[in-house]
Structure formats: structure tokens, C-alpha cells
């Protein structure tokens, strides 16, 4: 860590569980400190003193006690009650060893719109706090009754003029209102007592609800946290970068990976701020291979399907039960990981071509991606591998390297590739993510692999809403669509694990479909109603429409180009293939056709295919 | 059914699954017709003709084909394309046998703000439709680009003056904007071609998102659908009452119970409109008993706990393995339903005192509550029972009736009730509901039992957000708190079924707690931090605070009164008891204390108690 690197903290409210769960998760993810959220303390059986000791053992400082509400600009009798309340909280803070208390701008009906009164009373509070060695960080809530901008809170703090009174800046409260953070630079750094960071998607809704339910870790939403934080650091702020994220999903998710996700968001933010030692992301040049985990029953089924799609088994691994199937630059490994008889198949690993596999792995490790130990023999390639949030292995490799360094050297050639069906390479993967890890996954691929997230889209599938977000390298050569069923996607629906798609590129979808059908590939049938609607909606040329209908090829068009694509049935319970032809600069993945594809897959399952 | 009772329909978009799933569910719930949502048809492998035949077999008419978008007020070239699109959809509608098409007001950038042009083009569309025997129902979307009120859509329809052109009124589009529905009465009934009904909670958010994700069935939200529908019927509308509800939860829930929920919402709406034959709800006078399903292992544990709480085993059922435990008017039945060795316990049945049990059961059946067959011998009481959405049995009984009619007569008296600990009756129950059935459950208890739902509340529990809604009779003698974990509540958290609470009344919580402790009741310990915060927050008298702290009794206060309450540990994996003292007219259930209680229960589980 460079000496100028800021400390990193997290509010306990970001994580799920009891206070003990939260502190353990924060410490294991490498945080330096925590904000103690009052409700977490109240529900804990540890006394404040015990919490303090526990944090010390975990190496966590207690950077903030929060929140203290509805203090300022009130009549004398309310002030007396509020001061009593504050003194009782100072007692707790002394036991905790917490030096700073967050005071939110008032939303109370008791308060009046009087900056001078607010400043006087905050001065009084700061005086009381100072006597206990405590500082007051005053924060403008975006929905504060009278004080709801940082400029306003700063005017009051300046007027109060007490050394123990400063500001807390919260990126959500400032950016959600569209305030310009540039003026933060004009505030003296020593009056910036605390910085809370939260991102959020742009939502048109009540700001209080938006704040309480939909905040995200930096880099997961739509706010420009680099510019915001840059202004705060430029003003001379020297406290921790602290996350305060209220999010319905994180509130109920395992706190251990959530804390890692949180820390990764800060490391990635520091990188864009230039205060980091994270090594840069090497360029990625495409998908090297996809490995499917198969068993005794599913391997022959997958092999038959791959053969139908025009792949040939071109190699066998020298020491492992792994077969290489190839067509053009599309490579699929079938890894018979277990000798089970379940008939299951799933995507076990994704391999990307990296200009510097070792550099990619080093960056991944610095960004807290769990490294995967690889079992390889002397003379075999040492592939660097990490685990993605959903457990998929991600390999970094250079297929075109000298034989001794290429993973291809580990395979004996069994057969040359045949004429094929027009497939040239892997176009993209679509991987269903566990609901709890959707935002984490997008941040993982962005930060660790350096892929760019495209906008989040949602569509209504037959069994509920599906959210989708594609991450891709700038040239579009590596492309992964992350998908997640909102809510639970039908306990009543057939019990299948969310499917995974391996999408292959072709230059001529109709010709590929024809040749694949001739070879017996298990292609998915699309109903006639789809083509009637396509005619009404996009009116393709009659000959094209007829060919699409005949071959069960789906179609989409945007302002940049066209997409022709078709699918196999689901194989091994979870995996299916897609074949994609992009015409012009069509940028999407045909999401509009997904509900039709999903209903067709449901029929296939019902038919027991 | 009375001859003036309207027909009832449902849009396929309300339900989850494929078109086949949806139609089956709608027919089984007793709907007369459906609106076919275009996307459902497009994804179906049935041709329009086959769908028509299938609906006819199920006894469903196809009342509407929807939606047709972005038609009117466009330049000539766009109009030509739109007319081609319409003719292709008319082809589908002819095959379907659907007589009415829904046309939504335009949101297209191609459209212009010109009522005369809109009217002319809609006239043209109606002319084309009429030639095919089809009618056009024009609807103002709340977010329509130029036409977004029903008054405006009516001006255009009146101006177009074509017999095949009329209005579709949608309660959401009208009530979400706060429009006054009274003027609907001025529209001639024969120009009201279709009525779509949806309720919704009051949300401060973008109206399009509100509409697409958060609609509810009538009576589940905040809109006054009785007044709205009354205006439409008063205008002379004679078409079906049709539900069009876009809801994220319903989209992924089992369509069979969802369709029943939908039908129940219409039956309840008809009752408030006075167009119904549903028998009125007899008065309820309190909780008669709660039955816990126990097994060989859990029964002794529950018996010991009940004894500690001051209950005595006062009776045994003459023919079933059921024991009656009693204190004051609080009665708990332990029903050893199975001889399992799991140690589990759960609320199996809730019994309410009804002024007319047979009348209550008759009403319940008319409102589609599944009746439960009861196994009773000659001379035993024939208790009327139905199943609530979560599977709990609900009994209607008259405990104070002549012996031959009272369920108490089925029990032989084994022991007189002892002096007890001050418990007088059952105060309320808190029943965790499956997430998918939360809104359904509230409507069920409101419609079937005639209970009044209180506002929905939400609180942040240690493992995620919890939503809560209490239903109670006007006198508060029957009171059931429905609770549900939003999202999935932590797969990572301890795998326990959501707990159920039986809350008992006392006139003196501190005295009851003391006596129960003396008797060895397994009471839940509350941490000291809670009382420190209570002092800061509500400042109870020091003597009271000390007593609360000593007895682990929690406290709350509102503008009407006070609440003192305490809890047992969780017994049999799922059930716990609460003891409640209400002072003054305190109306809530101490929800603010729930997170503290939940964290304490979590500690108990971890300690293996």
C-alpha cells in the first residue's frame, strides 16, 4: 500500500446479520475501520466496551457512531431533551472508543427554519462533545426538512465555528439531488470530518426510498464517484473512504462475499482516482475456450450435440479426462469431472485470451479474486485461474503462444477439425447469476478483467422478470451476459437451475442452421406466432421471413444493424448453445426474443426432450 | 349469481407461466373470460385458432386482444405502416375470435399533438376494424405523450364519431394521476367498450415503473376502486370487470392460487358495490383457541413451557391425541398429529369466535376459501374449517354455546385451571407468510373473515427487510399480524422456517414476567444496550426502566398509549410466545422492537437452546 493511500471503512448497516457477523466479514475483507450503526449496537448482547475490544482484536478502528437525528433548531425544552439524549450516546461512544458522531440534519416537526439557531445549538452540542473528546460531523440529508444540501450544512457549520464541529459528506445525498460537487473544493479540508460513499442507479422515485433501498457500492450504479471523491480529496480530506450503502439485497446476503465486493469497489475507485497500487488490466483478445463440466451420462449427449453443430473432437488432455472439441476458433472442453450418472452439464470454466496472463492473474489477486489452485504436471501449461462470484473458474491464457506455454500443448491431437457448419468463434456467454450476486458479478468482471458494463436491462420472461447486464471488452471480443431472475422465479415452475448459454459466431445463420439440421443438431423449434408478429413489427423481406420461419431462426434489428440467431435445446439440464450472426454494428444480444426462447425451452422440458 | 351481476375477466399478463398455464388457472378460478396479452400469444406454440378452441373448451371467452401501441396522430408513411400492422393483428384476432382490440394512446416520437389528426386516423382504424367485425377500445396511458387522461381520450373518441370506436378505462391510469372519476358518469355507456381494474399502493415514483411493477388486485392497494367502478357502472357500462395487473410478485408465483386471489378480489369489490350474493360476515368476538401441531419430542417441551407460562392442562379430546391447555380465556391445543421424532412445532390452526359459525363458513366458501373436511364422531362438535393461503386451518366456533354445540364439549376435563400468571386471553397471532402470498393473505382475511387491514409497515431485521400488516376486527378482539421477509431473507442465515408467534394478554407484564420466571418459563433475554437506548429515546421513569431491564421486558409508546411485552425463546424450531400489556389505546404491536427480538432469537439458536 502506498503511504498516501487512504484508509478504508464500511458502515455496519451495509452488511447482513448480527453485529458479530458484520465485524468479522469487514475484518476478513481487509477493511481498516467501521462505522457502527446504532441499531446494530442496540440489538447486540455485547456491551459497548466489549464491542470496542472485539474490534481491536479484529484490527478494526471505530471511525464513526451513527446516526444521531433531529437535534438542531428546536425550542428550549426540546433542546434540553436532545442534549440529555446526546450525553447518553456520548457515554456509549466513550465505551466504544468512537471519536466522531454523525448528526443528520433535522426532519423533525419540532425544528424551525433558522440557521442561526441551528448553528448556536450545534455549537452547544460540539462544546459538550469536545468535553468528552468527541467530534460532531453534521450531514445534510437529501430530504432534510430545512437543511438538505451540503452547501447549506457548510454555512451552518461555518457559522457555528467550533473546532469539534465539522461536516460529513455523503455522495448519495449530494449526487441524488444533482448538486454540483465541485464547490466541495472550497471547504477547508480540516472541516471535512467524514466521507461516506454510496453509488445508486438513476431512479425516478422518492429520494428517501431510493436512499434506503437502492444504494450500491461505488461503480455499481450511475453516479460519478471518481469526480465526487476527487473533489473531496482535493479539498484536503484525510479521513477514511467509508461505505454507507442501504440495499435490500445486501441486507439479506451472506456478509462475507458482500464485504469483499465492498472492498473491491473501493480498490476500483482508488484506481480511477490514481491512488492505488493495483496493476493495470492487460488487453483481452477473445474467448480462448469454454469448459463444460460433464458426467458419464451427459458427455455422450453433449458430444453428439457438438458433432451436430459441426464441431470435431480434435484433442485429448494428456493427463486429465478432458476432451477438446473445436470448430474454427471456437473451442469447447468437456471435462468429465466426476463419474456421476446424473446426466448434468454446466459451464465450469471460462477462458479468456490475455496479452499477459500472469499480469491478469496478479491484478485479479490484488482485487480480491480468489485464486484457484491448478493441478498440473511437469511440462503442462500453468494456467492462471480465479473464481468468479458464481463459482465459475476464469482462466487467463495465450492460445497462440509458443507450444510449451500454450494450454493447447497439453492436448494430443486426435483428429483434424472437419469442414464445420460456419462457426468461427465464441461470440459470448450468458451466465445466470445467483440473485444475491448480480451487482457483485458486474463489478467483478469490470474491475478484475477490465470489461465495460453495458446498461442494465429487464424483460418479462414467462416465469418472472429477468435482469440482464452484459460486460464486454471495448472491442467486443470478450462478452459475458450476466442474467438474474428478480425475486425467486417461480417455486412453482419446473425445478431447473438457471440455464447457461454458450453463443457461437457465424457469418451466415441461415446456412449454419440448415447444415446443423442436416447433421442432426438438436435445434429449438420457434412457434409460428413469433413470425407473424415479426412480420407485423419489423416487416423483414418476405423471402427472409420465410427462411427464418423455416429454420426457426430469430431476428432483431436496431439502429446499428441486424441480428439473426437460433438455439439448441437445453442439454444436461442447464446448458444450451446459441448461434449468432451479427450484421452491421448490431450491439445487443436479442433480449427481445428471450421470452419466446424461454417458453420454447419450457415446452422442451415438458416434452421430456 | 344474480342476473345483473357483471361478467368477470382477467388479463393473461396478471399470471405467471405459459399461456396454457394461465388459461387453465383462470378457468379453474371461475373467470368468465380473458384478455389475451400479445406477448403470451407470441410465445405460445398454439396457433390463434388453437387458442380459441382451447378457451372455448375451458369456458372462457376472449374479451380483449391487447395491446396495440403507437397508432394515431402520425405522418402518412407511418400511418400506412401502422395500418398494415393493424390488419395483420386483425388476422390474428379473427382466428382468436376476439371482438375488441385495445389501442393505447401513443408514446411514439413519430406522433404529433393534434387531436383532429388523432381522431381522423382512429376513425380510419375503426372503419378497417368494423369491416372485420372488430371494435377498437382507445385507452389513455397515464404516460401517454399527448393523450394521458380519460377526459382527453374521450374528446378524441367523440370527435372521431365511429360506432366501432369507444373507450377503454383503466383504473390505474386514471387514479394514479389523481384524476376525478366522477365525470365518467357523463360518458354514454355504449361508448365504454372495456373496463380494466387494478389497484396499487401509493408510491412516489415514476408512473410507468409504478404501473409495470407494483399494481395489485382490487382491495390490496390504496385506490378507491368501489367509487371508481361505481361511476363506470352508473354510466351504463355493461362489459366485464376485467383485471389487468402487472406485478413482479404475481409474475413469478404459482398461477393457480394467484387466479383465485384475483377472483376473490372481484367478489369482494362486487360486495362493496352491492352487486353480489356473498353472504355478510358474522361478527367475530375473539380468538377461541390456537392449535399447535406437535410431535412426540416437541409436545413435552411445549407442555413444560406452557406450564412455565402459567397454563394448566385442563382437558383431553375424547377421540383425538389433542390436549387443551388453558389460562383465563387463552386456550392452546397441542395436537400430536404425527408420532414423528423431529421435535418440531407449528401453528396448525387458528380458531375465532363467530356469532354464526355456519354463516362464516358459508361466506368463506362463496369467497373461494378451500373448505377443510373435518373428521368428527357422533356427538362431537362439527367445527367449520377453511384453509388460509399459507395452509393454516381457520376454525369458526362458539365456545360459549350450549355444551352439545361447543367444541369444549369434545374434551374431558382433566384438571382445573390453576392460579396462573395473569394471562387473560390471546391478544394476537403473528404468522409468517410465504413471500408470494403476502398480499393474497391480507385480502383473504379481509374478505373472508371481514377483518380490517391496517397499513403495511416495513422494518430492517438483522437478516433483511420484513414487511408486516395486521388485520383485525373493528374491536381489536381478533388480531393477526401477517409478516413476510422481502426478497429471500438470507440463504446464508440459519435455516429455520419463519417463526410464528402466539401473543397472550396480561394486565401487568412485569408481574407476569416475574411469576413466569419463578415457574421456569423459557423467557428470552434482552441485552442491556436496548435499555440504554430506550432511556435515551423514550426516557421511561427510572424505576420502570430498571424493572423492564431486570425482567427483559420491552417497551414502546405512541400517542395513544404504551406497550410492555416480552417473549419466550423459539420452541420446536418455529413457535414462540409473547406476553403483551397494552396501556391506554396503544394500537401497534411493538414493531420497533422486532429487530432486537430477532437478534436475541438468533443468539438463542446459536447457543443451541
Write the DSSP string, B546-565.
Answer: HHHHHHT-EEEEETTEEEEE
Q: Which chain A residue is nearest to residue B19, measuring alpha carbons? A: A462
- Rounded to the nearest angstrom, the minimum Cα separation between B444 and chain A is 21
Q: What is the DSSP string of A44-69?
A: -SS-HHHHHHHHHHHT-EEEEEEEE-
Reported ipTM: the value is: 0.93
Average confidence (pLDDT) per 10 residues, chain A, 609 residues:
77 96 98 98 97 98 98 98 98 98 98 98 98 98 98 98 98 96 97 98 94 96 97 97 95 94 97 91 96 95 97 95 96 86 90 94 95 77 87 91 77 88 97 89 97 92 91 94 80 70 98 98 98 97 98 97 97 94 92 94 79
Q: In what order do the strands lie in the sheet with B384-387?
A: B384-387, B393-397, B345-354, B284-294, B330-336, B322-327, B312-317, B411-413
Chain B partners of A91 at a C-beta cutoff of 8 Å?
A: 532
Residue B128 makes CB contacts below 8 A (sequence gap 6+) with B83, B86, B87, B90
Candidate from A85, A204, A595 with C-beta closest to B43: A595
Spatial separation of the C-alpha atoms in residues A441 and B14, rounded to whole Å = 31
Whole-number Cα distances in Å, B163 to B67, B152, B158, B238, B554:
20, 18, 10, 16, 67
Give the E-state strand segments of A433-553 in sequence order. 452-453, 457-461, 464-472, 479-485, 500-506
Q: What is the DSSP string of B22-66?
A: HHHHHHHTT-SEEEEEHHHHHT-SS-HHHHHHHHHHHT-EEEEEE
* CB B506, CB A268: distance < 8 Å: no
**CB atoms B436 and A489 under 8 Å:** no
Spatial separation of the C-alpha atoms in residues A582 and A558, rounded to whole Å = 11
**CB atoms B600 and A535 under 8 Å:** no
Chain B partners of A532 at a C-beta cutoff of 8 Å?
A: 88, 91-92
Would you state the pLDDT for residue B490? 61
Would you state the pLDDT for residue B1? 41
Burial class (CB in 10 A: 0-12, 13-18, 19+), A419: exposed
- Rounded to the nearest angstrom, the minimum Cα separation between B204 and chain A is 5
Would you state the pLDDT for residue A334? 97
Would you state the pLDDT for residue A489? 63
Strand partners, B471: B453, B480
Candidate from B42, B46, B602 with C-beta closest to A533: B42
Whole-number Cα distances in Å, B442 to B113, B223, B228, B265, B439:
44, 16, 22, 11, 5
Spatial separation of the C-alpha atoms in residues B32 and B60, rounded to whole Å = 5
DSSP state of B605: H
Residue B533 makes CB contacts below 8 A (sequence gap 6+) with A38, A42
Q: Give start and end residues of each alpha helix (H) in A43-135.
A: 48-58, 76-96, 115-131
Burial class (CB in 10 A: 0-12, 13-18, 19+), B428: buried
Would you state the pLDDT for residue A402? 63
Report the SS3 class of residue B146: coil
**CB atoms A42 and B17 under 8 Å:** no
- Counted across chains A and B, CB pairs separated by less than 8 A come out at 198
Average confidence (pLDDT) per 10 residues, chain B, 609 residues:
77 96 98 98 97 98 98 98 98 98 98 98 98 98 98 98 98 96 97 98 94 96 97 97 95 94 97 91 96 95 97 95 96 86 90 94 95 77 86 91 77 88 97 89 97 92 91 94 80 70 98 98 98 97 98 97 97 94 92 94 79
Would you state the pLDDT for residue B2? 46
Spatial separation of the C-alpha atoms in residues B152 and B93, rounded to whole Å = 27
Q: In what order do the strands lie in the sheet with A384-387?
A: A384-387, A393-397, A345-354, A284-294, A330-336, A322-327, A312-317, A411-413
Spatial separation of the C-alpha atoms in residues B336 and B321, rounded to whole Å = 6
**CB atoms B527 and A43 under 8 Å:** yes
Would you state the pLDDT for residue A470? 96
Task: Count CA atoms closer than 13 A to B577's CA, side-chain side.
Answer: 28
Q: How many residues in chain B?
A: 609
* CB B413, CB B314: distance < 8 Å: yes
**CB atoms B38 and A533 under 8 Å:** yes
Cell numbers found for residue B95: 382466428
* CB B154, CB B167: distance < 8 Å: yes
Cell numbers found for residue B465: 427487510
Give the E-state strand segments of B297-406 in sequence order. 312-317, 322-327, 330-336, 345-354, 384-387, 393-397
By C-alpha distance, which of B536, B584, B576 is closest to B558?
Answer: B584
Instruction: Give the DSSP H/E element, type plus range, for residue B84.
Output: helix B76-96
Distance of CA A65 to the CA centre of its chain: 28
Whole-number Cα distances in Å, B243 to A178, B171, B269, B508:
39, 10, 12, 49
By C-alpha distance, which of B221, B217, B214 is closest to B244?
Answer: B217
- Beta pairing class for B330-336 and B284-294: parallel
- Beta pairing class for B479-485 and B464-472: antiparallel
**CB atoms B249 and A203 under 8 Å:** no
DSSP state of B234: H
Candidate from A528, A600, A603 with C-beta closest to B47: A528
Would you state the pLDDT for residue B211? 95
**CB atoms A532 and B603 under 8 Å:** no
Asked if residue A67 has a cis previous peptide bond (ω within 30° of 0), the answer is yes
- Rounded to the nearest angstrom, the minimum Cα separation between A84 and chain B is 7
**CB atoms A248 and B529 under 8 Å:** no
Chain A partners of B435 at a C-beta cutoff of 8 Å?
A: 487-488
Chain A partners of B602 at a C-beta cutoff of 8 Å?
A: 18
Asked if residue B67 has a cis previous peptide bond (ω within 30° of 0), the answer is yes
Residue A375 makes CB contacts below 8 A (sequence gap 6+) with none
* CB A452, CB A474: distance < 8 Å: yes
C-alpha radius of gyration, chain B, whole number? 28
Amino acid at each position: 500500500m502506498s503511504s498516501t493511500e487512504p484508509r478504508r471503512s464500511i458502515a455496519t448497516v451495509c452488511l447482513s446479520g448480527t453485529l458479530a457477523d458484520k465485524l468479522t466479514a469487514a475484518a476478513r475483507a481487509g477493511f481498516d475501520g467501521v462505522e457502527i450503526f446504532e441499531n446494530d449496537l442496540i440489538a447486540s448482547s455485547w456491551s459497548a466496551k466489549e464491542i470496542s475490544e472485539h474490534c481491536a482484536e479484529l484490527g478494526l478502528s471505530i471511525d464513526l457512531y451513527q446516526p444521531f437525528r433531529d437535534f438542531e433548531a428546536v425550542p428550549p425544552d426540546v433542546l434540553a431533551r436532545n442534549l440529555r439524549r446526546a450525553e447518553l450516546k456520548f457515554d456509549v461512544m466513550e465505551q466504544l472508543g468512537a471519536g466522531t458522531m454523525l448528526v443528520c440534519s433535522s426532519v423533525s416537526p419540532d425544528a424551525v427554519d433558522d440557521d442561526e439557531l441551528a448553528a448556536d445549538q450545534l455549537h452547544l452540542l460540539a462544546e459538550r462533545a469536545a468535553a468528552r473528546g468527541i467530534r460532531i460531523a453534521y450531514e445534510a440529508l437529501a430530504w432534510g426538512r430545512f437543511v438538505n444540501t451540503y452547501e447549506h450544512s457548510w454555512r451552518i457549520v461555518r457559522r457555528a465555528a467550533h473546532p469539534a464541529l465539522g461536516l460529513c459528506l455523503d455522495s448519495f445525498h449530494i449526487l441524488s439531488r444533482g448538486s454540483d460537487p465541485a464547490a466541495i473544493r472550497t471547504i477547508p479540508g480540516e472541516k471535512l470530518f467524514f466521507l461516506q460513499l454510496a453509488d445508486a442507479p438513476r431512479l425516478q422515485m422518492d429520494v428517501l426510498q431510493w436512499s434506503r433501498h437502492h444504494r450500491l457500492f461505488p461503480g455499481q450504479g450511475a453516479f460519478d464517484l471518481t469526480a465526487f471523491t476527487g473533489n473531496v480529496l482535493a479539498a484536503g480530506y484525510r479521513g477514511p473512504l467509508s461505505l454507507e450503502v442501504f440495499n435490500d439485497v445486501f441486507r439479506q446476503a451472506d456478509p462475507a462475499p458482500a464485504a469483499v465486493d465492498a472492498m473491491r469497489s473501493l480498490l476500483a475507485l482508488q484506481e480511477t482516482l490514481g491512488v492505488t497500487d493495483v496493476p493495470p488490466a492487460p488487453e483481452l483478445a477473445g474467448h480462448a475456450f469454454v469448459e463444460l463440466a460433464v458426467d458419464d451420462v451427459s458427455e455422450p449427449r453433449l458430444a453428439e450435440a457438438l458433432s451436430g453443430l459441426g464441431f470435431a473432437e480434435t484433442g485429448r488432455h494428456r493427463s486429465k479426462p478432458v476432451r477438446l472439441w473445436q470448430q474454427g476458433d471456437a473451442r469447447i472442453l468437456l471435462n468429465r469431472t466426476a463419474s456421476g450418472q446424473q446426466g448434468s452439464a454446466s459451464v465450469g470454466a471460462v477462458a479468456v485470451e490475455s496479452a499477459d496472463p500472469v499480469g491478469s492473474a496478479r491484478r485479479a489477486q490484488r482485487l480480491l479474486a480468489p485464486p484457484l489452485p491448478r493441478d498440473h504436471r511437469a511440462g503442462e501449461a500453468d494456467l492462471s485461474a480465479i473464481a468468479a462470484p458464481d463459482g465459475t473458474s476464469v482462466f487467463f491464457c495465450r492460445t497462440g503462444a509458443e507450444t510449451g506455454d500454450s494450454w493447447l500443448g497439453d492436448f494430443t491431437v486426435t483428429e483434424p477439425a472437419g469442414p464445420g457448419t460456419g462457426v468461427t468463434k465464441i461470440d459470448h456467454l450468458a451466465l445466470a447469476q445467483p440473485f444475491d450476486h448480480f451487482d457483485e458479478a458486474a463489478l467483478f468482471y469490470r474491475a478484475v478483467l477490465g470489461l465495460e458494463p453495458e446498461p442494465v436491462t429487464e424483460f418479462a420472461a414467462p416465469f418472472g422478470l429477468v435482469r440482464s447486464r452484459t460486460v464486454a471488452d471495448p472491442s467486443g471480443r470478450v462478452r459475458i451476459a450476466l442474467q438474474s431472475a428478480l425475486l425467486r422465479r417461480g417455486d412453482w415452475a419446473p425445478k431447473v437451475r438457471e440455464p447457461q448459454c454458450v453463443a457461437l459466431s457465424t457469418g451466415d445463420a441461415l446456412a449454419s442452421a440448415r447444415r446443423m439440421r442436416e447433421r442432426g443438431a438438436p435445434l429449438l423449434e420457434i412457434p409460428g406466432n413469433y413470425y407473424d408478429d415479426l412480420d407485423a413489427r419489423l416487416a423483414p423481406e418476405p423471402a427472409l421471413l420465410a427462411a427464418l420461419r423455416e429454420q426457426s431462426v430469430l431476428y432483431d434489428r436496431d439502429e446499428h444493424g441486424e441480428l439473426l440467431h437460433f438455439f439448441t435445446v437445453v442439454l444436461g439440464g442447464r446448458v444450451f448453445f446459441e448461434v449468432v450472426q451479427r450484421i452491421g454494428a448490431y450491439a445487443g444480444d436479442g433480449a427481445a426474443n428471450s421470452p419466446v426462447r424461454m417458453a420454447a425451452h419450457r415446452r422442451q422440458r415438458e416434452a421430456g426432450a
